[in-house]
Amino acid sequence: MIEETRARIAALHVRLEGLLEQLDAPAKRREIADLETQASEGSLWDDPQQGAALMQKLTALKEKLSLWETMQRQLHDLEELLELAEGDDAMQAEFGGQVVAVEHNLDKAELELMLDRPYADHSAIITITAGAGGVDAQDWTEMLTRMYLKWAERRGYKAELVDSTEGEEAGFKNATIEIDGLNAYGYLLSERGSHRLVRLSPFDSAHRRQTSFAGVEVLPAIDEGAPEVVIDPKDVREDHYRSTGAGGQNVNKVSSAVRLTHLPTGIVVTCQNERSQLQNRQMAMHILQAKLLDMELRRREEEQAKLRGEPVAAAFGNRDRSYVIHPYTAVKDERSGYETTDAAAVLDGELDPFIEAYLRSQLSG
């Protein structure tokens, strides 16, 4: 038993060293030292927004490095305790539980490393749009909206449906959710793409099998006025119209809904779920900033892929994830290969296994 445990600890050491190499801990320490120097300068808070952003980055880097240094100490302590446990059956049994705990912590730390990409620690904006499938596709869009709201609830994130357009018979033509929480964007990148549903249609009098599609767009949320995206007011056309959704008498009778068109790119953003025109405009501008940042991030990814000689994939495939409710139940992600037969749990927000499988496939790829 001692030899088996010793081998497990050795394997953890190898795994940890490989991950530390990917983390580039020396570079992170240098970056922390540089940020601490900037933080000590008296002029830092001349620009409160810039000062807050620097301190947020410094705190996140320190927490990340501290997590890995803690793992190193835990493994060192385990090696010392292993020698004391030799010949003591009760202590060996307790020690085995500690090794499992360290393995679990390393799994979590490894997942954090997979999020080491631009804006991964930001909140997220998700837009779900009905595709092929008519009324069923609109109903599917509403089901996906609920799924992401339930996932956010499981995570302890704050989530809000900030815009939606109801279908004529059921569901949503489109819906936009903002999920506010650390790493929300990094986790939800796994959800980008085309989602396909196969089921017996509740809207078909013959109750025939129907295939429906919805597209999911995931954007990094950034603060208004952030330096990453500067929007020239002359580049934006603003239109007002009456809301078509729920929200009370004022929302439906006054032209409080806002449509923003970014003229250079043709991007159109609408918002109608807030109570006032000002609130809708602020939210629409927030989403427009996120879309422009996402466009720039995708452009950089494509350039890097071309430099590496990799084929550049389209943003949306025919199906990135399939949900089958009839004639059997299964959910399969085509990119990571992960699948489960518990479709009900997935639709109730149990997405973490898909998220982890996607992140691991990106790291290995």
Domain that holds residue 25: 2-114
pLDDT value at position 154?
Answer: 95
Which 3 state secondary structure label does DSSP give 315? coil
Q: Span 5-26, mean pLDDT?
A: 82
What phi-psi label fits residue 334: left (phi over 0), alpha (psi between -120 and 50 degrees) or beta?
alpha
Q: What is the DSSP string of 35-90?
A: HHHHHTSTTGGGSHHHHHHHHHHHHHHHHHHHHHHHHHHHHHHHHHHHHHHTT-HH
Listed residue (217, 237, 358) closest to 287, CA to CA:
217
Q: What is the DSSP string of 201-267?
A: -TT-TT--EEEEEEEEEEEE---TT-TT----GGGEEEEEE---SSS-HHHHHS--EEEEEETTTTE
Could you give the CA distance from residue 346 to residue 342 in angstroms, rounded to a whole number? 7
- Over 50: is that where the pLDDT of 23 sits? yes
Q: What are phi and psi of 302, to 5 degrees?
A: -65, -40
Is residue 50 a part of any domain in this protein? yes
pLDDT value at position 308?
Answer: 56
Is residue 310 a part of any domain in this protein? no
pLDDT value at position 81?
Answer: 78
Q: Are 161 and 175 in contact (CB under 8 A)?
A: yes
pLDDT over 70, % of the chain: 88
What are the percentages of helix, strand and coil residues in the chain, rounded to 5?
Answer: 50, 20, 30
Is residue 287 a part of any domain in this protein? no
Q: Of residues 108 and 126, which shows the higher confidence score?
A: 126
Q: Of residues 257 and 362, which shows the higher confidence score?
A: 257
Listed residue (46, 215, 209) closest to 144, CA to CA:
215
What phi-psi label fits residue 219: left (phi over 0), alpha (psi between -120 and 50 degrees) or beta?
beta
Burial profile 30-68: b = 16 or more Cβ within 10 angstroms, e = fewer: eebeebeeeeeeeeeeeeeeebeebeeebeeeeebbeeb
The tokens for 304 are 């890097």
Across 11-15, 182-186, 272-276, 345-349, least confident range: 272-276
CATH number of the domain that residue 64 is part of: 1.20.58.410
Cβ neighbours, 10 Å, residue 321 = 24
pTM, two decimals, is: 0.75
Q: Span 187-210, mean pLDDT?
A: 92
pLDDT value at position 252?
Answer: 46
Task: Tell me the per-residue pLDDT of 278-306, one tens digit each, with 9 for 90 and over.
Answer: 889 999 999 999 999 999 888 887 776 66
Chain-centre distance of CA 338, in angstroms?
17
Q: Are 179 and 157 in contact (CB under 8 A)?
A: yes
- Average pLDDT of the chain, as a whole number: 85
Is residue 265 a part of any domain in this protein? no
Q: Of residues 266 and 56, which shows the higher confidence score?
A: 266
Tally of structural domains, the chain: 1
Q: Of residues 257 and 48, which shows the higher confidence score?
A: 257
H or E stretch including 115?
none
Is residue 85 a part of any domain in this protein? yes
Task: Tell me the per-residue pLDDT of 177-195, one tens digit each, with 9 for 90 and over.
Answer: 999 988 899 999 999 999 9
pLDDT value at position 227?
Answer: 67
Is residue 108 a part of any domain in this protein? yes
Spatial CB neighbours of 280, under 8 Å, sequence gap ≥ 6: 256, 257, 258, 271, 272, 273, 274
Give the CB-side neighbour count of residue 214, counting CA atoms within 13 A.
28
Task: Tell me the per-residue pLDDT of 151-165, one tens digit each, with 9 for 90 and over.
Answer: 999 999 999 999 999
pLDDT value at position 314?
Answer: 34
The tokens for 199 are 């089921």
- Over 70: is that where the pLDDT of 345 sits? yes
Is residue 349 a part of any domain in this protein? no
Is residue 334 a part of any domain in this protein? no
